[in-house]
Structure 1
Amino acid sequence: MGHDQQDTHKDYWSRDEQYRTPFYPNTMVQDRFFHILRFQHFKNNEAPSNRDDPEYDGLWKIRKIFDNLNNKFCELYNPSECLAVDEVIVLFKGRVIFRQYIPKKHKRFGIKVYKLCDFLGYTYDMTVYLGKQRQLATEEITLTHGIVLQLIRRVEGLGHKIYMDNYFSSPALFDDLLDRKINKCGTIHNDRRGMPQEIWPKSIKLKKGDIVRRVKRHLSVVRWKDKRDVYVLMNMHPPPLEGNFRDESGHAVKPHVIEDYNAHMGFVDKSDRLVNSYGIARRTWKWTKKLFSHLLDMTILNAYLLHKSCGGKMTHKKFR
């Protein structure tokens, strides 16, 4: 069904000339398929505790298979040196307590999944956003700080390079990651706690191509002006020279750190694009089925990338 997109499951067994595909009725009777789909469950439908309980797990209906897959993803693959942390949205408009609404996203409604991916698009680790009460957040560790620590727990001490956007970046997080022998680079909001106030827009007005930098021990923050101000926090690149840098056409010249960030930050988007290229998910009011379909597509993609990393020559479509 991932290669033959229809609007609903019933269309696969339709006898209308427009939809008719002999493969599906020849393989399985429609009623049997829907009977199996109806009873697709992963745990008994008895909540283990009250939702008001701090120990309540919003993902309990699918937690076992989610953790099993997550552990296997890490067990069977050694990721590349450069990794990216980002979020994806699994489109879902039904009812679930941790459903997100993000108006600026193409998929405005859905389940938010945080991923750690390498350059192939391999999902090495992942976690689902379940609300602030379920994340690793304390007074000292913010929500996003805890999410990143959860994602990188299996690559600590190995010298990896992590790229992230301004949703996750903070000086406190970068200090914490350095203690875990992980280098990092990411865009950052200029008003994050620990950022130098003297490079904020109110104090310095930059022209196109201007670069301003500040260095504190191992951390460097760069403010670069193109069409708008871009702030980058890093500890694995030498800070660029200050000044105004434009080419003969008057375009701002990108610092090396910006080019490096752009080259590596898209790993999670690449993974999401490949997962959705032959997606099997269809409309459903059951969030467990929608998330399971996404996990199944992701598992097939990871298996294909393992095949490719071992010298396999098949295409993604042929592998599926």
Structure 2
Amino acid sequence: MSQRLSVDEQMCGTKMSKTNIKQYMPKKPHKWGFKIFSICDTKGFSYSFELFTGAADNVREEGMPDLGAASNIVVCLSRNIPDFSNHIVYFDNYFTSLGLLVYLGSRGIYSLGTFRANRVKNCKLSTDEQLVVKKAPRGYSEEFVVTAFGVDISTVVWKDSKPVRLASTYAGVQPFKSNNPSDRNTLSRRYNRNRKQYEYVSCPNIVKEYNRHMGGVDLMDSLIGRYKIRMKTGKWPSRIFHHVIDLAIVNAYVLYHRINREKHQRVELPRFREEIAETLLLISETKKLGRPTTAEKQAEEVPKGSKLLYLPPPNIRYDCLNHWPNFCDKSSKRQCRNKPCKSETQVYCEKCNIPLCMSVKKSCFKEFHAE
């Protein structure tokens, strides 16, 4: 798992009325739908998710503490995170509680999140009214650090257009103060409505950490929303099933670019989905009636009684990844699929599932995968 993970909610949009788990959230782009809690890394890869089925849904596994309905979601989603491996989890004020920070800290997992003032008892940070009385300027901040059960927790309030409160077990205010306007690493660019111009204000390190690493679930949700399955259905399990398929495709898309990062091979998401559909169609072994499709024309004729094999797409054939030769029995010899060769061979590619010659005299295996 990646070091930095974020927990947030997303909506699986639908307007069907034959289910009780549908939610209405007016601030979301899709106001009606199923609420899903997900844990992702900063690139949008989803490791796990939980479907929200109602306010009474507060199921806990054996040995897990009861920290409240919202915090229990983070506890449940973080059960697969390795302990004491320096992972960091980010979440917003819906989930944050001091009990959650202490629990994650006891497992060696760092955390950072915004919190609501009424969820922290005897909080020493200034309230909104006190900040108004102090006439705190934009960029003003306060910090208090406390140790609870051996876990150091830093609470910070920062005055932006509105006061923002954050709590963390690994980050604090420092370093952020700078008198040099050119030092943009410690400042934030904000628009001043009175002066009608942009200006730079002091920004704590904890705020920059939160803004830099919190958007993993939103990135994943935006990738799903651009090109999703638009099949209308009146059954809510089918709608969730389509959403899970879209989620699996986005995960595969993120992994593909992570693997090919050094090769600088960029494939857009719609083309990536088309290649998945083409590959799934090619592996079908049922023979259709009527005129052959383009994919079927690419398949060469094979002897009667042998299994129908289709050539893999170029993106898989020439990716130079995990194409390993293997051997079958002599009774299972098949004709080589490399065009110049028509000999029978025992060697086949494990990834492409294509028989290819590989001997001292012939190198069809290498020629087939060479672009």
TM norm structure 2: 0.60
Report the alpha carbon displacement of residue 83 of structure 1 after superposing the two structures with TM: 0.6
Deviates more, 1:308-317 or 1:285-294: 308-317
Paired residue for 1:233, among 163, 167, 172? 167
3-state secondary structure, aligned to 1:212: strand
Looking at structure 1, the residues matched to 178 and 139 of structure 2 have their Cα atoms a distance apart, in angstroms, of 5
Residue 314 of structure 1 deviates from its aligned partner by 4.6
Does the Cα contact within 8 Å between 2:177 and 2:202 map onto a contact in 1? no
Is residue 317 of structure 1 aligned with residue 247 of structure 2?
no
1:44 aligns with none
Question: Relative contact order: is structure 1 or structure 2 higher (C-alpha 8 Å, sep ≥ 6)?
Answer: 1
How far apart, in 1, do the equivalents of 2:4 and 2:176 lie? 27
Q: Distance in 1 between matches of 2:251 and 2:271?
A: 14
1:220 matches 2:150: no
Q: Is the 8 A contact 2:173 2:204 kept in 1?
A: no
Q: For the Cα contact (< 8 Å) 1:196–1:214, is it kept in 2?
A: no
Q: Which residue of 1 aligns with 2:235?
A: 286
Q: Which runs of 5+ in 1 are unaligned?
A: 1-78
In the alignment, the residues of structure 2 paired with residue 91 and residue 155 of structure 1 have an alpha-carbon distance, to the nearest angstrom, of 29
Is 2:11 the counterpart of 1:89? yes
CA distance in 1, matches of 2:180, 2:165: 18
CA distance in 1, matches of 2:216, 2:50: 16
Task: Please state how far the C-alpha of 1:128 moved relative to its aligned partner.
Answer: 0.5
**CA distance in 1: counterparts of 2:98 and 2:253, whole angstroms:** 37
Conserved? CA contact 1:213–1:221, under 8 Å: yes
2-structure distance, mates of 1:109, 1:255: 37
Partner of 1:273: 222
The question of whether the paired residues in 2 share the 8 Å contact of 1:88 and 1:113 is answered with yes
SS of corresponding position for 2:158 = strand
Which protein shows a greater Rg?
2
Structure-to-structure mapping, 1:126-275, within 5 angstroms: 126-136=49-59, 140-157=66-83, 158-194=85-121, 196-205=123-132, 206-217=136-147, 218-240=152-174, 251-275=200-224
| Matched length | 242
Q: Structure 1 residue runs of 4+, over 6 Å off?
A: 241-246
Does the 8 A contact of 1:120 with 1:305 survive in 2? Answer: yes
User: Does the 8 A contact of 1:117 with 1:124 survive in 2?
Assistant: yes
> By how many angstroms is 1:239 displaced?
3.3
Shift of 1:102: 1.0
Question: Take 2:128 and 2:143, find their aligned partners in 1: how far apart are those partners?
Answer: 13
Contact 1:209 1:251 in 2 (8 A): no
Deviations 1:186-209 (A, max 9, x none): 111111134614422234433322
RMSD after superposition: 2.5
Q: Percent identity?
A: 29
Structure 2 CA distance for aligned equivalents of residues 231 and 124 of structure 1: 28
**Alpha-carbon separation, structure 1, partners of 2:254 and 2:159:** 38
1:247 is displaced (CA, Å) by 5.8
Aligned partners of 1:192 and 1:245: how far apart in 2? 35
Separation in 2 of the partners of 1:281 and 1:181?
A: 42
**Cα 1:103–1:178 shift into 2, 3 Å:** same
Pair 1:100–1:246, CA change in 2 (3 A): farther
Which of 25, 32, 42 is 1:119 aligned to?
42
Structure 1 CA distance, aligned partners of 2:65 and 2:56?
13
Q: Distance in 2 between matches of 1:195 and 1:189?
A: 13
What code does the residue aligned with 2:15 have? K
Give CA deviations for 1:26-60 in whole Å, capped at 9, x if unaligned.
xxxxxxxxxxxxxxxxxxxxxxxxxxxxxxxxxxx
- Report deviation, 1:154: 0.2
Query: Does structure 1 conserve the Cα–Cα contact (< 8 Å) formed by 2:34 and 2:52?
Result: yes
Q: Which amino acid aligns with 1:82?
A: R
The answer as to whether partners of 1:210 and 1:245 remain within 8 angstroms in 2 is no
The match for 2:354 is none
Q: Which residue of 1 aligns with 2:248?
A: 299
Partner secondary structure for residue 172 of structure 1? helix
